[in-house]
A and B are shown apart, each in its own frame.
Chain A
Amino acid sequence: MLTVATAVLAIITASPLVWMLSASVKEPGEIFSSSLIPQHPTLDNYRYVFTQLPFLRFILNTFFVAGTITVVALLLHSMAGFAFARLRFPGRETIFLAIFSTFLVSLQVIIVPLFILVQRMGMVNTYAGLIIPVTFNAFGIFLLRQFYLGIPIDLHEAAILDGASYWGIYWNIMLPLSRPILSALAVFFFLVNWNAFLWPLTITTNQDLWVVQVAIASFQGQYSAAWNYIMAASVVVALPTLFLFFLFQRQLVESIKTSGIK
């Protein structure tokens, strides 16, 4: 009984995504039929998306932007997290407190001044503008610091006695040890940045720099009735994230459990 209820609820929850998949292979006239199974399945919608629109370019842009942010953010956050967890220096508590206080400031709230600032720096319509301003967040530093605090300190001290440099300890000991949390965060960061919409929308007007989310949101305006094309494009945009989810479900869930904050 409970099993049936759970199963039914779960399937209903996932059904809009199934509907998207089904609509993406339907013919234009069929999109509003109530059947989930297309009468004449076709890949024309996908063909249209890739041939009539520079969709491949948008995909590559997004891969580049999300990938760069993920790699750079993980490097910088793990460096900072290591220092806050393991090194003693004046101002440590104060600086960490200051960083923590930016924890809950979300982009939506500071977007106007941030845009003005970034505009002044000449980064509107550049890859740098898409990447740099959204690379820094307190969340990653905080999480990695927590993780490094859990690594036995005698390891650190032994390495110091052996004459290892701080960079050596970070690079040769801490980083390899934090591989599990780094891979979990990498999946999470990539996902968040692949899905990001507000910042790319604000900072790019040049179509050559569009990421996929901005692209599909604007198709909608241009091809407002062509839902079959829009659904095909949506599937293409959603696929990498669903793929990552099925591959790295455990890591993703773990990183949410530890942190709980997006």
Chain B
Amino acid sequence: MDNPTRSSLRNSGYSAEKLEQFRRAGPTRTHKGGKLFWTRSRKEALAAWLFILPDTLGLLIFVAIPMVLALSLGFFEVNGFGGYRFVGLANYNRMFRDPLFLESLWVTIVYVACLVPGLYVTGLGLALLVRQRIPLIGVWRSLFFMPYVVSLVVIALIWKVLLIDKVGFVNRVLQMVGLSGEAWLGDPRFALGAVLFITIWFLMGYYMVIFLSGLQEIPREYYEAAKIDGANAWTMFTRITLPLLRPTSFFVLLVSTVSAVSGSQAFDIIYVMTNGGPANSTSLAVFYIYEQAFKFNNYGYAAAMASFLVVVLLVLTMVMFAATRGGRFHLT
């Protein structure tokens, strides 16, 4: 967002009339207490606390407390009626002996390991492609970005039909070019690949936008100078683009890793398309945890597994915070 310039300030908001209005209103006395107690800085602090109160309280109740609960609930057995029984480390012992959980961790690792580089390459590739000055570039950019605005449930439904065995559109097209189709969602060898493909297709336009804004920050003169020195496109990419894109790259890698671990996109896709199957091949940890909680009512056990993910994500957040020096980061 552009910062407002002086001229826009003059035109909007704080106009001369408004100033006059404030002047006429005179000093406001919102607090009637003795002058000694309500100093200016105390008034300011009180106002500030009131300003941040609703949001802070909301975040405390609906984000921070659940986080703490996630870490502690794992020590209890919780039944569907809200009864709690302290069971110590039982849930955690069970967790590391549960082949399905361990398998879901493995699926998560494969998913993250494929998704993060996949998004990096496609996002950057598209950004480089649509940075060219070619006709109708705005239209092509929009088309690449378009899947991202559609809900994942709809996306998953579309692809479910497209990938249906034998008669689905994808297999029809493959048959037309002489390839044999596969039961993409019914075969444990392909199902996770299909989910990955759809996630990348959905998200690549979003990362394209982020990379584009990173690329725009690189001064054109660098490329012009390199061209004069006889550098080819590949040299310019590895010597100018990649190094100067490092902050953007870092940001993209971190955000995509965090959202991949927490299954931000995968959950909806898996819920609609595969339900974790076939043969648990698409059962990501977040999906397995959800099933344990809301299908089998094992809330305590689910919380124990979730706390494992919370710890992983907290570590990632701290890394991000340290690397960006207290959150005052810019994309460039």
Contact = CB atoms under 8 A, between A and B. Distances in A.
B49 interface: yes
Given A34-B172, A89-B49, A234-B157, A217 B272 contact: yes
Given A104-B258, A119-B82, A163-B28, A88 B48 contact: yes
A234 B160 CA distance: 13
Contacts of A216: 153-154, 157
B299 A112 contact: yes
Contact of B158 (A101, A180, A234): A234
Contact of A10 (B2, B12, B140, B209): B140
A10 B144 contact: yes
Given A76-B58, A102-B63, A163 B25 contact: yes
Interface stretch (B66-74, B99-107, B237-245): B66-74
A19 B136 CA distance: 23
B40 to A, nearest CB: 9
B86 interface: no
B271 to A, nearest CB: 7
B54 to A, nearest CB: 5
B89 interface: no
A172 B18 contact: yes
Nearest to B22: A162
Residue from A5, A19, A110, A168 with most neighbouring chain B CB atoms (10 Å) = A110
A13 B13 contact: no
Interface residues of B, number: 116
A100 B58 contact: no
Interface stretch (A38-46, A52-60, A241-249): A241-249
A82 B331 CA distance: 22
B32 interface: no
Given A110-B306, A198-B268, A217 B153 contact: yes
Interface residues of A, number: 121
A50 interface: no
A17 interface: yes
B140 A87 contact: no
Interface of A: 2-3, 5-7, 9-11, 13-14, 16-17, 19-20, 23, 31-32, 34, 76-77, 79-80, 82-84, 87-90, 92, 95-106, 108-120, 132-138, 141-142, 147, 150-152, 155, 158-159, 162-168, 170, 172-174, 176-177, 179-181, 184, 191, 194-195, 197-198, 201-202, 213, 216-217, 220, 227, 230-231, 234, 237-238, 241-242, 244-246, 249, 252-258, 260-262
Given A34-B173, A88-B45, A108-B263, A17 B146 contact: yes
A89 B161 contact: no
B149 A242 contact: yes
A155 B14 contact: yes
A191 B4 contact: no
B59 A102 contact: yes
Contacts of A230: 157, 161
